Amino acid sequence: MNTELKDIKPGEGLGTIKFGMTRDQVKEILGEADVVESYSYTDSDQDLTESWDYKELSLSLNFDEEDDWRLIVISVTSDFYQLDGETLIGQSEEKLKEVLAKVGMDDLEMEDWSSAESPDHKLIESNSHSVNFWINEGRLDEIQWSPQFIDDDTIKWPEL
């Protein structure tokens, strides 16, 4: 995998990929996505999100129409990616919490997302860092993060 993409940077991006980049800027770095899907979290056709999946990279990127199609969410599912030099995917919930405390993410909130299909599914989130950690069967299997917010409506875009 591309070592320039190894470092998870909360609020900023993933290696050379930065929040706020346009679809064309991301495509220049990563090439065409394997799968591109458009959907809306609301009933409005004016509120679209485009999701790009790079299967070989275990990477998903979301671009929102309301943010002029700039990169707004990054998700990874491979143990290739690291936060402050620590591999997190595949770690136990306890180990994850140890590492997060070490890197200063101490505002963690937990939600139970268990269902019949996923009886042991949890979300651990750090609101101040805009990062979600998805735990399935006691192990971290996905990390999602976004830029930070100045207030409820204003995104703090990193410098490109």
**Of residues 128, 141, 145, 146, the one with CA closest to residue 93:** 141
Q: Name the CATH topology of 3-156.
A: protein yfey like fold (2.60.460)
Per-residue pLDDT 10s for the chain (160 aa) are 677 889 999 999 999 999 999 999 999 999 999 999 988 877 666 688 999 999 999 999 999 988 999 999 999 999 999 999 999 999 999 999 999 999 999 899 999 998 888 888 999 999 999 999 999 999 999 999 999 988 888 899 998 8
Query: What tokens appear for 51 in the block?
Result: 């999701």
Residues 34 and 14: beta-carbon distance below 8 Å: no
